[in-house]
């Protein structure tokens, strides 16, 4: 997707970000992190609310902010993407520099105000491809680039997830996973193996890639916090 496409996605959600915006084309950060979040129909309204609340509470958690501040530069670049089928990806909160509690709190408030859409099917590959393009458009510089994929189902739309993963890894991008294990019905194809194993084999990749399992949506925020601390440190 070209720059104008990303800008169009941003324009669709005006005034959604108030934390420190891009101030210089080469401003350094310790890590560029794209949160790539599943909003397919397998996630109902209650689960979507818990998922959003989990990201809001994790990013603004003082323990996460302290890890950010202890970095060599003391800042990270953060973008929040939602995805569903292979034709739907959206940049909900564009690149934001998080360097302190005020930035994190403002980011959390922006996510609370952002509208949410839900579409059919689950294209992990589409989410990864869009996150790669988002990283290419980042207004900051970092030695580490990470895509954090969360979801409650397997890839059932678009090209294979491992194809998108392998292309991202070839560019030096690390993909970590946050599979959400729950007993709700899954839209589309059921996984032939447990979801955490599916993420291990088909989604995560790159130097030091890892996954943390969220046992349900109620524990999602704790899992996100643990994951962010590990990714940023």
The total number of structural domains in the chain stands at 1
> CATH code at 134?
3.40.50.410
Please give the Cα distance from 84 to 79 (Å, whole number): 17
Please give the Cα distance from 140 to 158 (Å, whole number): 30
Q: What is the mean pLDDT of residues 5-12?
A: 40
Please say if the pLDDT value at position 1 is more than 60.
no
User: Would you tell me the crossing angle of helices 195-202 and 161-170 to the nearest 10 degrees?
Assistant: 40
Tens of pLDDT, residues 163-222? 999 999 999 999 999 999 876 555 555 567 899 999 999 999 999 999 999 988 888 999
Q: What is the DSSP string of 103-137?
A: HHHHHHHHHHHS----BSS--HHHHHHHHHHHHHT
- pTM (predicted TM-score): 0.87
Binned at pLDDT 50, 70 and 90, residue 103 comes out as very high
19-33, 102-116, 195-209, range with the lowest pLDDT: 19-33
Residue 49 structural domain: 3-232
């Amino acid at each position: 997707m070209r720059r104008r496409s990303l800008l169009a996605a941003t324009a669709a959600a005006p005034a959604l970000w108030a934390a420190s915006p891009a101030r210089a084309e080469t401003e350094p950060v310790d890590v560029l992190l794209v949160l790539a979040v599943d909003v397919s129909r397998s996630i109902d309204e209650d689960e979507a609310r818990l998922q959003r609340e989990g990201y809001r509470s994790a990013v603004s958690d003082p323990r996460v902010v302290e890890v950010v501040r202890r970095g060599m530069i003391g800042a990270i670049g953060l973008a929040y993407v939602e995805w569903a089928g292979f034709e739907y990806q959206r940049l909900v909160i564009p690149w934001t520099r998080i360097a302190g509690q005020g930035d994190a709190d403002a980011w959390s408030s922006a996510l609370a105000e952002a509208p949410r859409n839900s579409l059919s099917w689950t294209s992990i590959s589409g989410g990864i491809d869009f996150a790669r393009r988002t990283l290419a458009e980042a207004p900051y510089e970092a030695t580490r680039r990470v895509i954090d994929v969360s979801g409650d189902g397997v890839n059932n739309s678009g090209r294979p997830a491992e194809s998108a993963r392998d292309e991202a890894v070839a560019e030096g991008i690390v993909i970590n996973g946050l599979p959400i294990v729950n007993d709700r019905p899954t839209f589309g194809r059921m996984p032939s193996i447990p979801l955490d194993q599916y993420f291990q084999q088909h989604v995560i990749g790159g130097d030091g890639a890892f996954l943390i399992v969220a046992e349900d949506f109620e524990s999602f925020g704790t899992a996100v916090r643990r994951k962010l601390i590990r990714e940023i440190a």
